[in-house]
Chain A
Amino acid sequence: MVELSRREWLIGAAALPVLAETARAAPADTLRFGLSSYPPSLQPWVNTGTAALTVKTLLHRGLLMFGTDGKVKGALASSWARDGKNGWTFKLRDAQFHNGQPVTAADVKWCLEQIMAPTSTAYLRGQFQAIASIEAPDAKTVRIIMKQPTVTLPLMLATPFAPIIAKGSLNAAGGIGAGPYTLTAQERGVSLSFAAFAKFYEPGHPKLRQIHMPVYADENARVAALQSGDVDMIEYVPWQAMAGIQKNPKLLLNTVDGPYMALAFNGGTGPFKDERLRQAVAHAIRREEIVAAAFFGRGTVLEGLPITKSSEFYDPKYAHGWNYDPKLAKQLMAAAGVPNGFDCTLLSTAQYGMHLATAQVVQQHLGAIGIKVKLDLPDWATRVAMGNRGQYEFCVQGQTADNNDPDGLSAYIDGTLPPDNARSYHLPTPEIHKLLVEGRAEFDPAKRRAIYDELQRVALKVVPLASLCWRAQGYAMTRNVHGFTNMPGGLNFYSGYSLENVYFA
């Protein structure tokens, strides 16, 4: 038995924290990424949240994807082109699935047909009903024939909602993909581990050999894990922690304006059937205060449709159409026959601070012009159910477009679509629907631009939603993590695509 002196005991005890920290350090070829939630499901075509999307961007690739510049680029397809009036042709590159089988046109055809099938629960199921047929003339060519000319098909295929898996491989755990990483281990609710796929089609990618993703559902725990060195990178940085991370010389904060906050209205019943009152609300809110109260100053005022500044369709002429103008709001109320205001209920949720704070600021500002707002703040699941049933007069929304094209806003502003908690309830928008259909079918950039200019003009009048602000969406990482791109606007939740570029330096 080795006997230790008191001094040796003390030295040993003092060294324990150092040893513990050394044990926590990860190998230089493994990225430890703190996920915000455990993916409820890894079904390839079903939307099950942002964390699931991030994981799926590691496991899968579709025909196309979004590059770090936000533009559509080839993934499993090396090239693509318009084919006739209604068709698109995709040429496949030499890529392999994780089981070593080559990616063929038959796999692609099968996958896209699964997405559009009547029994499908895929996110793009509705949009894929615009497809007339899918052909595989040879092993490396796929032809997609649309029912109408559709310029936006590449945008749909570039999202992580249309990955290609090996034909027939769909099972409860997901399917066999062709992405840059393979899933090596998972523990439900705890973590997922990935290893680089050696036969990934992009030479030199992915750059790291392994990614380990422990789940930190609590935002403070996630930040603490980064600050204490348990992980190298985290997603969904809470706004209140951003300043602290920026001050930390070892850490880097990467934010962009991604999702946005807005108000949706019940157009079937209550005061907001009248578009003048929707306009009045849109003009009555001082949005800077929402950015300050809900997002600790980390966001940008949004006074028009949520189209990012980087979009070719952004037009400053329409970007401030719902500027803060309480005088105008009062005039609109007078014109609508309620000069002294009215009582109404705003649906939000107390479960998420940003929804609650947004509702409180809206309540204050509408109170200032005579609209007495009562807040209805159930838990999130109840809020969603009430939104679907139209059990509200107006409600707070936090959402993100499908992409940065104005067509990516269709699900949120097209009132001809079936009722959904994500858009205004029973608020008919025939003009907006017509313009969206026209824009989707128009291949001439100048004519598309004119269509979407008109769309913005009409939207400012109809107010299918009243935008409030962009919210900064943040990733934080240690300073030796390089190569990650936080994509702006509607592409933000697809930022996981760039994890194949990440390396340590």
Chain B
Amino acid sequence: MLFVLKRIGVSVLLVWVVATIVFLAIRMVPGDPATILLSQGGVAPDPAAVAQLRIQLGLNQPLGMQYVADMHRLLVGDLGQSLQDQTPVAGEILRRLPRTLELIGAAAVLAVLLGLPAGLLAAIRRGGAFDRIASWLAAVALAVPIFVVGTLMVAIFAQGLHWAPAGGYVSFARHPLRHLELLAMPAATIAIGLAAILFRMTRAAVLDVSMRDYIRTARAKGVAPRRILARHVLRNALMPIVTVLALNLGSLLGGTVLVEYVFNWPGLSGLLVDAVNARDYPEVQGVVLVISVLFVALNLVVDLLYALLDPRVRHG
């Protein structure tokens, strides 16, 4: 119990540290939200209007007061309002986060469906034609930047063949078919790189496990090859594969920005980049904080699971 409380305490502390760092970092970067907002389109705003907007947005307050007000708001679960249009930040994140999670989730499913069987097959037929071709394709997929893949897909399937829309977003509730149609290309773009990683990882892990003593013993005992593969090789090889997949999915949480831009998918990463460009302090803080909390929560769950599985962790 003490271990659990300690871990939760550390997690809360981590979230506070992140909130403080983000608060200070975004304000240390030059750029005034009021000036940026009122000078859009290259016009010269009236300085008195800019000063007035700074007052309305509370930007004229001393930094310490802004910090105390921000932390107080966070304590009661309020992420504040956007400096641009006073939209509640929490509401906007709640709208955007599921879109990014959906994109990542769809990409993960595609990547697993493609990468895992291909990796397995390549390992079984090591050195064969399939292995060589698939390894070469995986190398290409990893070498080509994700925005190039996305742009090529748009050029071929949207602009060239007119098979798919170039990009955009419609909610599933409003138009399910159109939603899936719009999801397909960005998810596939992310999936290509991810599938290549999974392919390599699966191939290497399967080859590694296949050479272990217990596999040789199983073969010597006359266990059927199919059974060895499914029950012994794949099950043991899955551990590093799942770890790599989880790590990559975690980094995608804030890293789908290029795909979101190319396909006009309004997710969380795009929101963060736009907020930084506009110096929308509450929005930047809110998005970074939510991503951080998700990471910290994931780590907490993993730590607690380790403790559950391994008593040595519990007792230090």
Contact = CB atoms under 8 A, between A and B. Distances in A.
Interface of A: 16-17, 20-21, 23-24, 40-42, 46-50, 52-53, 118-123, 125-127, 172, 188-190, 214-218, 220-221, 224-225, 227-230, 259, 351, 378-382, 384-386, 388, 397-400, 402, 411-412, 417-423, 493
Nearest to B167: A221
Q: Which of B44, B49, B163, B274 has the most CB of A within 10 A?
A: B44
**Secondary structure call for the A interface:** loop
B73 to A, nearest CB: 18
Interface in B77-127: 84-87, 92, 95-96
Contact of A47 (B40, B161, B261): B40
A224 B52 CA distance: 40
Contacts of A20: 163-165, 181
Contact of B92 (A188, A216, A382, A412): A188
B48 A125 contact: yes
Interface stretch (B13-21, B31-39, B134-142): B31-39
B40 A48 contact: yes
Contact of B32 (A125, A228, A385, A397): A385
B191 interface: no
Contact of A421 (B39, B41, B49, B278): B39
Given A47-B40, A189-B92, 17 more contacts: A17-B162, A17-B163, A41-B84, A121-B50, A126-B49, A127-B46, A217-B270, A220-B262, A225-B264, A259-B42, A384-B32, A385-B31, A385-B35, A398-B42, A399-B44, A421-B39, A421-B44
A40 B84 contact: yes
A270 B165 CA distance: 53
B45 A40 contact: no
A48 B56 CA distance: 16
Given A121-B53, A216-B264, A420 B44 contact: yes
Given A17-B163, A221-B264, A384-B31, A50 B41 contact: yes
B154 interface: yes
Given A172-B86, A217-B261, A411 B159 contact: no
Given A17-B162, A41-B84, A386-B30, A47 B264 contact: no
A53 B53 contact: no
Nearest to A16: B163
Report, nearest first, the 3 A-B pairs whose CB atoms are least far apart.
A381-B31, A49-B40, A422-B44
Contacts of B167: 216, 221, 224-225, 230
B29 interface: yes
A397 B42 CA distance: 8
Given A380-B277, A381-B277, A385-B30, A47 B41 contact: yes
Name which of A16, A40, A421 has the most chain B CB atoms within 10 A of its CB.
A40
Contact of A221 (B40, B44, B177, B262): B262
A382 B29 CA distance: 7
A316 B158 CA distance: 47
Contacts of A42: 85
A92 B186 CA distance: 52
A46 B38 contact: yes
Given A53-B41, A400-B41, A382 B177 contact: no
A378 B30 contact: yes
B166 A384 contact: no
Contact of A40 (B50, B92, B262, B278): B278
A384 B49 contact: no
Contacts of B279: 381
A412 B32 contact: no
Contacts of B155: 224
B103 to A, nearest CB: 14
A172 B85 contact: yes
Nearest to A41: B85
B41 A228 contact: no
A306 to B, nearest CB: 12
A44 B299 CA distance: 47
A225 B39 contact: no
Contacts of B278: 40, 381
Contacts of A228: 154, 158-159, 162, 164-166
Nearest to A215: B264
12 contacts: A23-B178, A47-B38, A119-B52, A120-B49, A172-B86, A189-B271, A215-B264, A221-B262, A225-B166, A229-B162, A230-B158, A420-B44
B250 interface: no
A122 B169 CA distance: 33
Contacts of A41: 37, 84-85
A40 B167 CA distance: 21
A420 B47 CA distance: 7
A399 B42 contact: yes
B23 interface: no
Contacts of B50: 121
Contacts of B47: 418-420
Contacts of B31: 379, 381-382, 384-385
A224 B261 CA distance: 12
A367 to B, nearest CB: 27
B255 interface: no
Nearest to A20: B181
B43 interface: yes
Contact of A400 (B42, B162, B266): B42
A21 B48 CA distance: 51
Nearest to B271: A189
Interface in B232-289: 261-264, 266, 270-271, 274, 277-279
B159 A421 contact: no
B26 to A, nearest CB: 11
Which residue of B41, B50, B169 has the most chain A CB atoms within 10 A of its CB atom?
B41
A167 B305 CA distance: 61
Contacts of B95: 188
Contacts of B92: 188-189
B61 interface: no
Contacts of A379: 31, 277
B272 to A, nearest CB: 12
Contacts of B38: 46-48, 121, 123
A46 B50 CA distance: 11
B60 interface: no
A384 B36 contact: yes
B178 A224 contact: no
Contact of A218 (B53, B84, B264): B264
A188 B171 CA distance: 13
B102 to A, nearest CB: 14
Contacts of A384: 31-32, 35-36, 39
A126 B48 contact: yes
A221 B166 contact: yes
Nearest to A49: B40
Contacts of B42: 259, 397-400, 422
Contacts of A417: 44
Nearest to A53: B41
A422 B39 contact: yes
A78 to B, nearest CB: 30
